[in-house]
Amino acid sequence: MKNNTASIQARKRLLFIIHEIVIEIFKASFISYLLFYLVENFKVGLISNIFNLNILLIITCVSGLLTIIFRDETVAYKKINISLGSYIIFFLIAIAVALIIYNKIKMIGPMSYFISIIIGIILILFPITLSNDQSN
């Protein structure tokens, strides 16, 4: 019985560590992508001649999805009330971001549709997840 409890605790600890690592990867890749993207827009070729930003975008998207998958269910989240106007703003921003992402990665082919649609859906669902009471 003790061995089983220790195994469960070790598994929870491992999931916690994976979650923390994925969160840090997401933060670093997201901030790096934004900075590199801004620099690239001001000085075309400065970043893209050295590094493909699409690779960093894919890392950001994958780590963002893993952050959601490995989130800690034991943490009590506060309920956030979001107005209808805020939902509309989130929706418009999500559509704009999905279109910008599609425009930037359309050269990879049909996969660009999938990537931009998934990111748009995630951004549209973001305020809904914030407003739901996670503490039940």
Look-up: residue for tokens 């506060």? 78
Structure-block tokens of residue 29 = 């890749």
Q: Consecutive 10-residue runs of the chain (136 residues): their mean pLDDT?
A: 77 84 91 86 86 93 86 62 83 87 87 91 82 53
pLDDT at 72: 64
Q: CB 71: neighbour CB atoms within 10 A?
A: 16
| pTM of the shown model | 0.54
**Using an 8 Å Cβ cutoff, are 70 and 26 in contact?**
no
**Using an 8 Å Cβ cutoff, are 117 and 59 in contact?**
no
pLDDT at 43: 84
pLDDT at 134: 47
pLDDT at 69: 80
pLDDT at 73: 65
